[in-house]
């Protein structure tokens, strides 16, 4: 405990970006939850834009609003089909 799960549009991360994200989230979570860094786990899952609404928005955002501490505010419509080079 605790476990962090992040879903995102597919993109390539450098090792430095991965290390930065892990360090920043681990520092914040250990401070806020008052736990040891060894207790924190982090999963990062790419989700294609074409299935975002079905696999993430619907079941995890719309269906569980009571769990959200921050609502999304999508600034543009989500893609309806995968395009080459989508990140």
Asked about 2 being catalytic, the answer comes back as yes
Q: To which residue do tokens 């769990």 refer?
A: 67
Helix (H, G, I), strand (E, B) or coil at 29: helix
List of E strands, the chain = 3-8, 41-46
Per-position DSSP letters for 26-37, written without gaps between them: HHHHHHHHT--G
Of 2, 10, 46, 79, the active-site residue reads 2
Catalytic machinery residues: 2
């Amino acid at each position: 405990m605790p476990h962090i799960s992040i879903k995102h549009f597919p993109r390539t991360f450098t090792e430095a970006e991965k290390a930065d994200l892990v360090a920043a989230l681990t520092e914040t979570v250990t401070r806020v939850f008052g736990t040891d860094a060894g207790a924190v786990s982090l999963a990062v899952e790419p989700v294609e834009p074409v299935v975002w609404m079905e696999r993430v928005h619907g079941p995890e955002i719309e269906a569980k609003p009571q769990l959200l501490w921050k609502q999304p505010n999508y600034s543009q419509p989500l893609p309806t089909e995968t395009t080459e080079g989508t990140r």
